[in-house]
Amino acid sequence: MDQDWDALGRRLAAARRGLRPKVSQKELADRLGVSRSTVQAIERGAYQRVTFAVRDYARAVGWTDESIERVLAGGEPDAGPALNAARMGSSPAAGQALPIPLRVEEELREGPVLDTAVMELPGSRSRVVVVVMGPPDADPEEIRRDLQVWRRTEAQFKELDDSDDVNP
């Protein structure tokens, strides 16, 4: 199966340029803990294998873990609800720490992010942010099963929003 590494690099670069606030190659490299030349090589399509740096880059621009393989095969990335603001340190204001507990930060460092969702709290203008984390040693089949369970669970959460039983 042919893999289009140049297209992957172009798509990642376009996704980085589309981030708000804007993120330079140097800023992204610093946040990922790699050199700017690594980011440049990824964007040129010079990497001919999926490395941790490539996966981290994709996550930083809000792509799901499956997006890399989809783009390499000629498809579109799956950009779930953006977790990139948390990963890029851009909220609440650029350069400020996010107001999340340390235990949540630690969980975000353990294992792959499988998906994210942002949902309205039923009967409120507040939002719920869900980050679905896979186990650190998950194989692709386990991740696929976990994503199927999450999709069913997410649908149940969304049904709550449609419920008439909620009294604000």
pLDDT tens sequence across 56-97 = 999 888 888 789 999 999 888 876 544 434 344 444 444 445
User: Are 113 and 78 contacting, i.e. CB atoms less than 8 angstroms apart?
Assistant: no
pLDDT at residue 46 in the model:
92
| CATH of region 1-93, choose from 1.10.275.10, 3.30.930.10, 1.10.260.40, 3.40.50.2000 | 1.10.260.40
User: Are 134 and 143 contacting, i.e. CB atoms less than 8 angstroms apart?
Assistant: yes
Distance (Å) of CA 113 to CA 24, 43, 46, 57, 132: 23, 22, 25, 13, 6
Distance (Å) of CA 79 to CA 18, 66, 152: 12, 10, 19
Exposure string over 88-125, b if 16+ CB within 10 A, otherwise e: bbbeeeeeeeeeeeeeeeeeeeeebbbbbbeeeebeee
Does the predicted model carry a pTM greater than 0.75? no
pLDDT at residue 156 in the model:
85
Host H or E run for residue 105 = helix 102-109
Distance (Å, whole) CA 150 – CA 61: 22
pLDDT at residue 69 in the model:
92
The label of the residue with tokens 């386990």 reads 142
* Spans of the chain, pLDDT less than 70: 1, 79-102, 161-168
What are the structure tokens assigned to 94, written together? 């650029």
User: Are 119 and 128 contacting, i.e. CB atoms less than 8 angstroms apart?
Assistant: yes
What are the domain boundaries of the chain? Answer: 1-93, 100-168
